[in-house]
Amino acid sequence: MMEEEKEYLKLNYLSGFGNHFSSEALAGALPQGQNSPLICPFGLYAEQLSGSSFTSPRKLNQNSWFYRVKPSVTHEPFKPRVPNHGKLVSEFNQSNSSATPTQLRWKPAEIPQSPTDFIDGLYTMCGAGSSYLRHGFAVHMYTANKSMDDCAFCNADGDFLVVPQKGRLWITTECGKLQVSPGEIVVIPQGFRFSIDLPDGPSRGYVSEIFGTHFQLPDLGPIGANGLASARDFLVPVAWFDHSPRPGFTIVQKFGGELFTAKQDFSPFNVVAWHGNYAPYKYDLKKFCPYNTVLFDHSDPSINTVLTSPTDKPGVALLDFVIFPPRWLVAEHTFRPPYYHRNCMSEFMGLINGVYEAKSDGFLPGGASLHSCMTPHGPDTKTFETTISLGNEVGPRRMGDTLAFMFESSVITRACPWALDSPLMDQNYYQCWIGLKSHFTYEVEKQAGEEIPNGDGKKESLPSAAD
Ligand SMILES: O=C(O)Cc1cc(O)ccc1O
Ligand SMILES: [Fe+2]
C-alpha cells in the first residue's frame, strides 16, 4: 500500500455540525486568549477567513482563524486562466442558458481519455440566479481521471456540496485532509482553497453550489430531537501543513463563474493551526436515519432532507439536499413509489448506486434528471404497471440496492447549452410515460340519463345533454 494511502486511511477528524472547532498540527501553535497576537507562536501569520458578513447575527456568523507559514496574499497577480474552459456558469441568463419546462434526463458521462483533473472536468448543468447578487445556485457535474497537480482551487462564488458517484476523492484543504468515497458527501464552503487527488483514477460525481448562504441541518419539527442526519456524524479535518518550497504553485480562483490563476512559491496548505466554525466537512450517507410512512400513503421527499440552505421565506429552500436511501417500504393499500406530481420547486436528481424506485430503467448511476417548476413527472409506465399488478398483498419490502438524491430549489432553473445539446441527453425520455394507459373503468355509453353511484354509494341520475 502506498504511504499516502495509509495516511488517508488513518485520518483523524473532528466531529460535529457548526461547532467552534480548534485544531493544531504542532502543539502550542494556536494562540491562547486572543486571535491576533503581535507575534504568533512559531512565527506564524494570523489570517481570518470570513464566511459571513462581520455583522451577521451570531447564530449565522461563520468564520475561522488560520495560523499559517505565509499569508494567502503572498502571490503574483491574478490573470484569466488559459484555457478558461468556459463551461462554468454563475449568473444564469439568456446568453448562457435556457429555460425549458421539458422533462430532461441524461445518461452517465464517460470518463475522459485525456488527462483531466477535477477543475477541467467540472461543467455546469443548470442553475438559477446569480453569484454576484448572492442569491441562486448551480448544479455542476464532473468527470476526471487525474489528480490536481501543484494547484489549488478556490471558489469565491459559493459553497460546493460534492456528491462523488465513482472514485474516491482525497481532498487537501486549508483546515486539513479528508477522504470522501462514493456514498459520502463533502461540503467545501466559499473561499476555501482545496486540491483533489484521485487515488482510484476514474472519477465522476455531482456538485451543487449555493450562492450567498450556507447549508444547515433541517429543523426536525414533530420528528423530535433525533433522526435524519445527526450533528456528530459530520466530520471536519484536523490541521495538517506542508511548509516545503513549492515553486510554481497555482491558485485557480473561480470568481463570477470565470477562472483566474495566480502563482506563488509555497503551498496554500500551510496552516499549522486553526480555530473557528467555518470549515469543510464530510458526511457518510449510511449514517442517515431515514423516516418513512408506517401505515399508508407516500410521504413527501422532504422527510429525508440531509442539509438545507434556506431563503428568507420560512420553509422555502434555496436548495435542499434530499436522499432516497435504502429503507423498508411497509405502507398498506398504498401506491408505494413516488406519486405523480407537479411541483413549484425544481428537482434535479442523481443516482449514486442501484435503481431509483420511480424509474425501472433509463435512470442510471451517474446519470441525472431535471424536472423543473410545475413540470409533470412521476413513475415510468413499467413501474406503475408492476406496482398495481402486485396488488395489496406485497407486505413489507426492504429497498436495498439504491441511493438516489435530489437537489431541490425554489428558484426556477435554467439549463446550460452543453447539457441540452449533449449526446448524453435522453431524447426519448418522454416515452417512459407515453405508455401510461387509461385504467378508467367507467363505461362511456352509460353516461347521459343513466343511474350511477354517487360518492355516498346512492344512485343518482346524470343530467342528460338536453337538461
Ligand atoms: O420526482 C421524484 O422522483 C422525487 C420525488 C420523490 C418522491 O417520493 C415524492 C416526490 C418527489 O418529487
Ligand atoms: Fe418530483
Q: Is residue 37 part of a domain?
A: no
Strand partners of residue 281: 187
Q: Is residue 456 part of a domain?
A: no
Round to whole Å and give the CA distance between 190 and 204.
22
Hey, is 392 helix, strand or coil?
Answer: helix
- Give the structural domain span for 335: 289-434
Side chain identity, residue 257: G
CA of 347 to the centre of ligand 2 (A): 6
CATH number of the domain that residue 423 is part of? 2.60.120.10
Mean of the per-residue pLDDT values of the chain: 94
Whether residue 174 is found in the same domain as residue 235:
yes
Whether residue 89 is found in the same domain as residue 180:
yes
Phi-psi region of 455 (alpha: psi -120 to 50; beta: other; left: phi over 0): alpha
Evaluate if residue 38 carries a pLDDT over 90.
Answer: yes
Q: Is residue 233 part of a domain?
A: yes
Question: Helical H runs in 186-267?
Answer: none
| Spatial contact of 459 and 406, defined as CB atoms under 8 Å apart | no
* Mean pLDDT lowest among 93-102, 265-274, 396-405, 453-462: 453-462
Full 3-state SS string of 374-388:
CCCECCCHHHHHHHH
Hey, is 302 helix, strand or coil?
Answer: helix
Round to whole Å and give the CA distance between 381 and 311.
36
CA of 185 to the centre of ligand 2 (A): 22
Percent of the chain predicted with pLDDT > 90: 91
Round to whole Å and give the CA distance between 343 and 373.
6
Whether residue 308 is found in the same domain as residue 224:
no
Round to whole Å and give the CA distance between 274 and 256.
28
Q: Is residue 186 part of a domain?
A: yes
Dump pLDDT digits (tens) for 384-398: 999 999 998 899 999
CA distances 232 to 14, 15, 170, 181, Å, are 9, 5, 22, 19
Whether residue 184 is found in the same domain as residue 296:
no
75 annotated to a ligand binding site: no
Q: Is residue 452 part of a domain?
A: no
Dump pLDDT digits (tens) for 208-245: 999 999 999 999 999 999 999 999 999 999 999 999 99
341 annotated to a ligand binding site: yes
CA distances 108 to 74, 85, 143, Å, are 41, 21, 10
State the burial class of residue 393 (Cβ atoms within 10 Å of its Cβ: 0-12, 13-18, 19+): exposed
Evaluate if residue 341 carries a pLDDT over 70.
Answer: yes
* Mean pLDDT lowest among 3-12, 17-26, 174-183: 3-12
Q: How many domains does the chain have?
A: 2
Query: Minimum-distance ligand to the CA of 303?
Result: 1
CA distances 377 to 206, 252, 365, 407, 430, Å, are 22, 39, 19, 16, 10
Whether residue 247 is found in the same domain as residue 383:
no
The whole-number average pLDDT for the span 181-205 is 98
Q: Does 298 participate in catalysis according to the annotation?
A: yes
- Beta pairing, strands 258-266 & 245-255: antiparallel
The whole-number average pLDDT for the span 14-35 is 98
377 annotated to a ligand binding site: yes
Say what the ipTM of the complex is. 0.99
Per-residue pLDDT at 445: 58
Residue 177: all three cell numbers together = 485532509
Whether residue 216 is found in the same domain as residue 97:
yes
Whether residue 337 is found in the same domain as residue 206:
no
Whether residue 176 is found in the same domain as residue 259:
yes
Whether residue 365 is found in the same domain as residue 247:
no
Whether residue 254 is found in the same domain as residue 332:
no
The whole-number average pLDDT for the span 331-346 is 97
**CB of 301 closer than 6 A to ligand 1?**
yes
Whether residue 203 is found in the same domain as residue 311:
no
The active-site residue out of 298, 333, 371, 439 is 298
Round to whole Å and give the CA distance between 373 and 55.
35
CA of 231 to the centre of ligand 2 (A): 27
Q: Is residue 191 part of a domain?
A: yes
Whether residue 192 is found in the same domain as residue 83:
yes
Strand partners of residue 341: 377
**CB of 370 closer than 6 A to ligand 1?**
no
